[in-house]
Amino acid sequence: MAKKHVNVALIGYKFMGKAHSHAYKDVSLFSDTESIPVMKIICGRHDIPLAIAQEKFGWQERTTDWKKIIKRDDIDLIDITTPPNEHKNIAIEAARAGKFVFCEKPLATTLKEAYQMLEEVEKNNVKHAICFNYRKLPAVGLAKKLIDEGKIGKIYHMRAVYLQDWILDPESPLVWRLQKKIAGSGAHGDLNAHLIDMTRYLVGEFEEVIGMSKTFIKERPLLVEKNDLNTGLVVTEKSNKVGKVDVDDATAFLARFANGAIGSFEATRFAAGRKNHQRWEINGSKGSIVFNLERLNELEYYSVDDPSCAQGFRTIIATDASHPYAENWWPAGHIIGYGDSFVNMVADIMNTFGTKKIPTPNFVDGVKCQEILDAVCESVKKGKWVKINSRV
């Protein structure tokens, strides 16, 4: 039987646009999916850099008007990799047009917007997915398997950090990630969102949270856009003026879970020397597991059932064909990388076309994550524990 071809429109062409393009381009090389993505059209604000991205990434067409894409009958899937402030409008219009909607995290800048997005995809009966791509790493899949099989027993603790340092310099400019109107929040929504989703996936639902946050550098140099007369490209330069940083540089919080476990979480962009350090440890009655994104092919596992003379953390290289997703890649011991988590994510999406299945994670997961993000922010303001009152 001939496989269905899924015509994809990608909105956004920078960091995440590149990662998603890699996934569409290579997914058929590594996964025998039910459907095959066609890289139909890419969209962005500025035509000249967009043209460069179109050719480099391998898209058939390009446009600077996302509304035209959504109206096209030949587009099946709308992939949103824009900054968060643009997610809601694009996703809602795509849902109303009957398109599959795939959106980067966090789902929106506010909880209200996230609820609206979920309502529209459900009301219009369209499929939806959110790109919490770290779920799709073989080592994380192995962690899920060990937990579900009871290998670490009853879970007592989840402790997680996501540490970066890319704005440590006070002269680093006021990019969009440091502006509330565009990003919604700072390290919290960008980094804690990943930790929250991972925790929901592995440990269970949050019950209540208490947090604190800090903005260490209150003002930063503004950026101005200019047209480069030699290349025609729009370039950004630091100006002599400064603007206010109105998002968090760091947010930490404690959590209690519905299953009785407790957790601690920290996200910061001020951890000198840490480039993309996501690490979490889960402790249970029968053992522990540890994951470090900077060693993403490895999972550390400790079991109390081992003989006392041999007890200790063992490092499992999650590349065996028995590990989730690993059989699609290379022979055992041949590692995969960051971008390959997106390939696995797209593979799962392609396998839902022609079925009644909704991919996971999806907008429900996005909303639940946003509810927890919002509760932490409320806790920071009120200085007390806040219960998670989920609507989904």
| Three-state SS annotation for 110-137 | CHHHHHHHHHHHHHCCCCEEECCHHHHC
pLDDT at 232: 61
pLDDT at 389: 93
What tokens were used for 7? 């015509």
The reply to whether CATH 3.40.1390.10 applies to domain 138-295+297-336+368-386 is no
Where, residue-wise, is CATH 3.30.360.10 in the chain?
138-295+297-336+368-386
pLDDT at 1: 60
pLDDT at 234: 65
pLDDT at 231: 63
pLDDT at 226: 74
Give the global pTM.
0.95
Where, residue-wise, is CATH 3.40.50.720 in the chain?
4-133
State the architecture of 4-133 in CATH terms. 3-Layer(aba) Sandwich (3.40)
pLDDT at 225: 78
Report, as ranges of residue numbers, the positions in the chain whose pLDDT lies below 50.
none
